[in-house]
Structure 1
Amino acid sequence: MTTTVLLAGLASPAQADPAATPAGDQAAIDAYVKKYDHPMGSQIREHEGTAQMPRSVPSDIGAQASVAGIDVSGHQGNVDWPAQWNAGKRFVWVKATEGTGYRNPYFAQQYNGSYNQGFIRGAYHFALPDRSSGATQANFFSSNGGGWSGDGKTLPGALDMEYNPYGATCYGLSQSAMTNWIRDFSNTYKARWNKYPAIYTSTSWWNQCVGSSFGSTNPLWVARYSSSVGTLPIGWSFYTVWQYSSTPIDQNSFNGDYSRLQVFARNSD
């Protein structure tokens, strides 16, 4: 099975945004990723710590139906998908974009390679809400690999909302302004794909910077590096995905069996 990823041109770069995606020169590609690619959860781990990160699958997961998965970014480079499959992983989110300038140079290998191996896969966007509107970033994401189709093999796009890697925790936005930004992104994505994006976040960051409910529309992907998922962010009564570890790669658990994961990937909103 092979899919084709179409990448559109970059939006106008903002401060600390890359001007172009390098091609051909491996050293330049590696430098580009190191400078501009903030992996999912990187800022949560930096601010909230990893002291309680479990060394094995948490008992909360083992006691219920679940599916194991991972997420990857440019920092993983070309991923050995057969090895991940043999390790029992069955779904993956691949970083596509950040802000309105960064595009993962390994996206095609990661997104198409996982699909060809049999994974249910999707793409995620690392938000920089102080750079441009939610609609602008949703469209940039959508035009650079973040789309969705109801083929049962494509997860909804995910919006990564976490601590600002460049400055103020909440990007200088009030809770109401952040809520409006997320709603702008979410509604724009829904209008393009007939599917609301999942929202990735931690309880601490969300309650501090957003404090609003998106539980009726957006699936929750919660980051919690502990043996239990703990208190969920304001607005959600259950999680869809739990990221519980970053060792040796970001580890995720889908809250349900494989048939529910297929339904999650297939059904429109």
Structure 2
Amino acid sequence: MRTSRLATILLASAILTGCTRSAGLEDLVPRPSMEVTNSISRPDAPVAEANETASQDEPAGTGGEASAPVVEAALVAPDKPSPAAKALLDGTVHPQRFRDAHPINFGKASPRNLAVHGVDVSRWQGNIDWPKLRTQGANFVWIKATDGGDHLDPMFRRNWNAAALAGVPRGAYHFFYWCRTASSQADWFIRNVPKTKGALPPVLDVEWNHLSECKKRPSREQVLEKMQVFMDRLEKHYGQRPIIYTAPDFYRDNLKGAFPNHPFWLRSVAAHPSKVYPGRDWVFWQYSGSGLSHGVDERIDLNVFVGSEGQWRKWLAANAG
């Protein structure tokens, strides 16, 4: 069918406009998988896992697939030091002003007695006012980036850049999916999370998720092997030792006595970590999944660093990229 010159111009303009929208980039990313952390709701719609060839870095029977299509990390990598990197130098620590929808009395072991608080976020927190959230006590943040080998959190790019602009030291976390190989998941994380100066170490989130379509629960030996493969790949790429985030049931089944040289971030929302994870040193404690704060409309996970302000600055100097 013939098209008028005006219609042709309008059509070309629409195409160019569509190509410059950030939503167009989101269309390149597979839809969300079923993987979620303990503290957030399950997505509405499942997505089938790709049936691809297993990688060679793990033994047969661990349920492997190859990596999904790539979205280049360079899309979010800044060309110059970010405000978040500069925040590492000024050492500003904001006192926490968070509230809690379901407050717990931790007694003398209250996280409020510790100086440096922060948050972790994902798509479920919606649009965040990062400057406001920082003033409420978000002195650090870990941002949901990936899970499995084919899902990028649709808010990751926005949160990653906006947190940096607000001067919040930030890192990214990956939710591990037990029906994929560790190597394919490490590749997916690396391809979507930029190697950025001043970023916090990457986090490996390992949990049992009863809502997942993947019902596989590998043996302790297989779990530790998969985790080692994933963390070695990330440490080699980013030059930072990954932090392990976990919950009580998964820790009990798999992680007692394991990875003594890795920092741990422990979920313990009803008691101090010393009671839930006896004998385990930790660096970060997630003490609430029902936090409330100015700057975010939804509930938010609340976390705290183990030491003083001075120890926090030393930790940042030694561990931030």
Normalised to the residue count of structure 1, the TM-score between the two structures is: 0.73
Equivalent in the alignment of 1:228: 272
1:57 to 1:111, Cα distance in 2 relative to 1, 3 A: farther
Q: Residue 243 of structure 1: which of 277, 286, 307 is its match?
A: 286
Note the alpha carbon deviations across 1:204-262, whole angstroms, 9 max, x for none. 2122144451121x11100011142243548x632111111111311111112334333
Q: Which position in structure 2 is the counterpart of 1:47?
A: none
Cα displacement (A) at 1:268 = 5.0
2:212 paired with 1:166: yes
The alignment's C-alpha RMSD in Å is 3.1
- How many residues align? The count is 228
Secondary structure of 2:23's counterpart equals: coil
CA distance in 1, matches of 2:319, 2:272: 30
Counterpart of 1:166, as a letter, is S
The residue aligned with 1:88 is 137
The match for 1:24 is 23
1:46 corresponds in structure 2 to none
> What are the ranges of 5 or more consecutive residues in structure 1 without an aligned counterpart?
1-22, 44-52
State how 1:109-148 maps to structure 2 within 5 Å: 109-132=158-181, 134-145=182-193, 147=195
Give the whole-Å Cα distance in 2 for the aligned partners of 1:242 and 1:62. 8
Matched residues in 2 for 1:67 and 1:263: separation?
Answer: 13
Distance in structure 2 (CA, Å) of the matches to 1:158 and 1:96:
10
Sort the Cα spacing of 1:238 and 1:211 in 2 relative to 1 into closer, same or farther, 3 A. Answer: closer
Paired position in structure 2 for 1:38: 36
Is the CA contact 1:37–1:73 (under 8 Å) kept in the aligned structure 2?
no
Alignment of 1:204 with 2:249, yes or no, is yes
The aligned counterpart of 2:3 is: none
AA in 2 matched with 1:159 = L
In 1, Cα distance between equivalents of 2:228 and 2:236: 12
| Identical-residue share of aligned pairs (%) | 26
Secondary structure, counterpart of 2:272 in structure 1 = coil
- The structure 2 residue matched to 1:74, chosen from 114, 123, 142, is 123
Measure the CA separation in 2 of the matches of 1:63 and 1:110.
26
Which of 151, 164, 178 pairs up with 2:223?
Answer: 178
Matched, 1:55 2:100: no
Q: Distance in 2 between matches of 1:111 and 1:37?
A: 20
Distance 1:24 1:195, change over 3 A: closer
Contiguous gaps of at least 5 residues in structure 2: 1-21, 42-100, 291-298
- Higher mean alpha-carbon deviation, 173-182 vs 218-227, is at 218-227
Distance in 1 separating the partners of 2:254 and 2:273: 20
Q: Which amino acid aligns with 1:245?
A: S
What do residues 114-164 of structure 1 show as CA deviations (whole Å, max 9, x unaligned)? 1111111100000002212x2221221122116464x3xx21000000113
Does structure 2 conserve the Cα–Cα contact (< 8 Å) formed by 1:146 and 1:157? Answer: no
Which residue is 1:189 aligned to? 234
TM-score (norm 2): 0.62
Structure 1's 140 and 193: CA in aligned 2 closer, same or farther, altered over 3 A?
same
In 2, are the aligned partners of 1:156 and 1:198 still within 8 Å (CA)?
Answer: yes
